[in-house]
């Protein structure tokens, strides 16, 4: 383990391949998008979070931002 490096948060949510969603997506800790999302993706929790966009032809239109 490297000094000063924190372990990334776990990915607890998945929008799987073949899944389509429209609207605002709120998540905490980690989210992986393999499917399609049309809307905003917002971090809902406090602390560190991670968003992973798949290389498997995901489709996403919208904004990504921390919750204010």
| Calpha distance 57→45 (Å, rounded) | 28
52 vs 67, higher pLDDT: 52
Q: What is the pLDDT of residues 17-58, one digit of tens each?
A: 989 999 999 999 999 999 988 898 999 878 889 999 887 765
Asked whether the beta carbons of 35 and 58 are under 8 A apart, the reply is yes
Could you state, in order of their start, the residue ranges of all structural domains in the chain? 13-61
pTM above 0.85, yes or no: no
Kindly report each contact of residues 50-55 with a partner whose C-beta sits within 8 Å and lies 24 or more positions away, as own/partner. 50/8, 50/9, 50/11, 51/27, 52/11, 54/17
Report the half-sphere exposure of 64 (CA within 13 A, side-chain side): 13
Beta partners for residue 65, in sequence order: 42
pLDDT > 60? residue 1: no
């Amino acid at each position: 383990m490297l000094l000063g490096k924190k372990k990334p948060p776990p990915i607890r949510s998945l929008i799987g391949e073949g899944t389509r969603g429209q609207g605002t997506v709120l998540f905490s800790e980690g989210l992986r998008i393999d499917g399609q999302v049309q809307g905003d993706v917002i971090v809902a929790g406090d602390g560190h979070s991670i968003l992973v966009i798949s290389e498997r032809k995901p489709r996403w239109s919208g904004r990504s931002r921390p919750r204010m």
